[in-house]
Chain A
Amino acid sequence: MTIIEEVSVPSPRDGDGGPLLEVRDLHVEFHTREGVVRAVNGVNYSVSAGETLAVLGESGSGKSVTAQAIMGILDMPPAKIPQGEIRFRGQDMLQMSGEERRKIRGRRIAMIFQDALSSLNPVLSVGYQLGEMFRVHHGMSKKDAKAKAIELMDRVKIPAAAARVNDYPHQFSGGMRQRIMIAMALALEPELIIADEPTTALDVTVQAQVMDLLAELQREYNMGLILITHDLGVVADVADKIAVMYAGRIVETAPVHELYKRPAHPYTRGLLDSIPRLDQKGQELYAIKGLPPNLLRIPTGCAFNPRCPKAQDICRTDVPALLPVTEQDGGELPGRASACHFWKETLHG
């Protein structure tokens, strides 16, 4: 009898060293009666295992639509993906069959939604909704699935899990409900989690608890995390890198702390300036002037030009590409890029 030497079989978690998820030149449009709404216009980003990417942007910037395209939960029609790739472990998910994608959903890529009350089914117990993951994806019996559900609720620190497993969503507090959403996303230990404004509906103290829990679980399972938010405060503590979106495009990417220190896009600068600060108490709060763009009629050139304090003629004609930015002396700034014709002035000025 030979003893087979232990070979290191690459587990799916290790992958091939490349990024876990790579979005390339993604376009999403909605065909409505008023015309074609171009919600996403060429988004590129990637996330590796264990990494947290924060996608920042105001309402209508396309951050949630991008996430839903990754999940494959856009209603098509009216949505359409005319162009782009979404590579998960190197495979383009847009080329997969519906059934192949369904098997990835929930099991390998999971999503946490903003409002846990409306995102949980009101007439099914939380135990049922959690257990459903195991029953559908692993073919577990009802009884085993319930035991797993209790385990999960314990995992996300819901007190007296065994007693509450048969309760319904409305019987939980907002924070506890969001924990159940997180538990549901974590159930099958996915490789990637997309959290779409997971704390927006919660009050501030609970926000911190939920974010800490999410970060802790992410480290433990070495998951990739895409955190979609418009809250710069939430991002600073947990994210590794940031992608700022505006009118369906990424306008700036940077490692988290560098972005806060030295933004390279006027829009990012505007966002940072509009955070209330203690040392400016009593002064009027800065606000980016103008309104978010109408996605039916995105301004020509740089979409931000009507609101930009630095806008020149070129901004009204040429769409700036997302290009790497450098130090004044030409030194590299890894991971940094900006889609502004005047990034130099913004970054170094």
Chain B
Amino acid sequence: MGRYVARRLLQMIPVFIGTTLLIFLMVYALPGDPVRGLFGDKGASPQVIAQLRHEYGLDQPILVQYWHYMRDMILHADFGTQVASGRPVTDVLGSAFPVTLRLAAVAFAIEIVLGIALGIVSGLRAGRATDTGILLVTLLLISIPVFVLGFILQLVFADQLHWTDPSVNDPTNYGQLVMPGFVLATASLAYVTRLTRTSISENLRADYIRTAVAKGLPRRRVIGVHVMRNSLIPVVTYLGTDIGALMGGAVVTERIFNIHGIGGTIADAITRREGTTLVGLVTILVLVYLLASLLVDLLYAVLDPRIRYA
């Protein structure tokens, strides 16, 4: 187990180097650069631009830039400076990250509670009206684009019913985060529901469930202990990989609800060709992704004793 974790952590190093390099190269391949972006349409004298490019190290070959970037990041925890604002990237991360983390946490909670609950109800009544209804709703949730759903909810719950604010002005207020959290969670929620449903209705037909019934166990024990333990294994896998997706995929949701999290920052960084900011943000997301999947793999062994780590 310890060796397994150590090996998995070591495997993260090449993944880490690979992703950062890839993003660095991709930003470099895009036309335009952050210094020109600073001046917009006005244009500036080539001397000034050359001067600034030299200051930010943008006149050096890309691999040298990458080398300096990595050296500063690993040795000094220095993620560079944002050209547009002049703020250190760590600063930008520090303000955007907690906001997205809170939003993702709210979405994740909604996804787990609602998704699994609906999946159980649906799975236990597979083939009947309730099940068909839930499947229809999940299909709808998967097909509606996030921005459409976001606007509809804003219109109904904020403008008409006044239950909540249309946009988030205080990202530490969890009450305001419920609606954006739900919007962010919708697609995943629908998948969790369907996954749980299939898993449960399949396990209900398993031989060991027949045994559990033959043992004279009450129905709630048959379902709660014997069906659930086995049914949640695939759901946990999905949930684990979804943590990263929720954090990185919040771009649209954050825009709709005016949340200044990672999503918006990434979008800005791309339009401004801010390579350093982008790499820093994505690096953190990649790490979150890797750690979450490691966590899921470890959780697997707890849920399913047949899985052993060597």
Contact = CB atoms under 8 A, between A and B. Distances in A.
Interface of A: 71, 73, 102-107, 110-111, 113, 115, 118-125, 132-133, 136-137, 168, 170, 184
B3 interface: no
B230 interface: yes
A298 to B, nearest CB: 26
Given A123-B230, A124-B229, A168-B306, A105 B213 contact: yes
Nearest to B227: A121
A203 B171 CA distance: 66
Given A105-B215, A106-B215, A122-B305, 18 more contacts: A71-B214, A103-B216, A113-B207, A115-B207, A119-B208, A119-B210, A120-B208, A121-B226, A121-B230, A122-B230, A123-B229, A123-B303, A123-B305, A125-B305, A136-B215, A136-B216, A136-B221, A137-B216
Interface in B198-225: 206-208, 210-218, 221, 225
Contacts of A106: 214-217
A120 B305 CA distance: 13
B304 interface: yes
A330 to B, nearest CB: 45
Nearest to B210: A73
A136 B306 CA distance: 26
Task: Pick from B207, B216, B305 the residue with the most CB of A within 10 Å.
Answer: B216
Contacts of A119: 207-208, 210-211
B306 A170 contact: yes
Contacts of B305: 122-123, 125, 168, 170
Given A168-B306, A170-B306, A121 B211 contact: yes
A106 B304 CA distance: 26
A110 B214 contact: yes
Interface of B: 206-208, 210-218, 221, 225-226, 229-230, 233, 303-306
A136 B224 CA distance: 14
A118 B216 contact: no
B206 A118 contact: yes
A176 to B, nearest CB: 16
A276 B133 CA distance: 57
20 contacts: A71-B214, A103-B216, A106-B217, A111-B214, A113-B210, A115-B207, A118-B207, A118-B208, A119-B207, A120-B211, A121-B226, A121-B230, A122-B305, A122-B306, A123-B303, A123-B304, A133-B215, A136-B215, A136-B217, A168-B306
Contacts of A118: 206-208
A73 B217 contact: no
A104 B213 CA distance: 11
A146 to B, nearest CB: 16
A73 B214 contact: yes
Nearest to B207: A118
Contacts of A123: 229-230, 233, 303-306
A110 B230 CA distance: 24
Nearest to A170: B306
A170 B306 CA distance: 7
Task: Pick from B206, B208, B218, B229 the residue with the most CB of A within 10 Å.
Answer: B208
A123 B302 CA distance: 9
Nearest to B306: A170
A184 B215 CA distance: 8
Nearest to B303: A123
Contacts of A103: 216
Contacts of A110: 214-215
Given A105-B213, A168-B305, A121 B208 contact: yes
B229 A105 contact: no
Contacts of B206: 118
A125 B229 CA distance: 12
Closest 5 CB pairs of A and B: A106-B216, A105-B216, A118-B207, A106-B215, A121-B208
A113 B221 CA distance: 20
Nearest to B203: A121
A57 B259 CA distance: 70
Nearest to B205: A75
Contacts of B210: 73, 113, 119
A238 B234 CA distance: 45
Contacts of B208: 118-122
Contacts of B303: 123
B112 to A, nearest CB: 20
Given A121-B226, A123-B305, A168-B305, A104 B207 contact: no
A42 B304 CA distance: 44
Contacts of A113: 207, 210-211, 214
A263 to B, nearest CB: 33
Contacts of A104: 216
B236 to A, nearest CB: 12
Nearest to B225: A124
A103 B217 CA distance: 8
A137 B214 CA distance: 13
A122 B214 CA distance: 17
B218 A73 contact: no
B218 to A, nearest CB: 7
A107 B214 CA distance: 10
A125 B225 CA distance: 12
A72 to B, nearest CB: 8
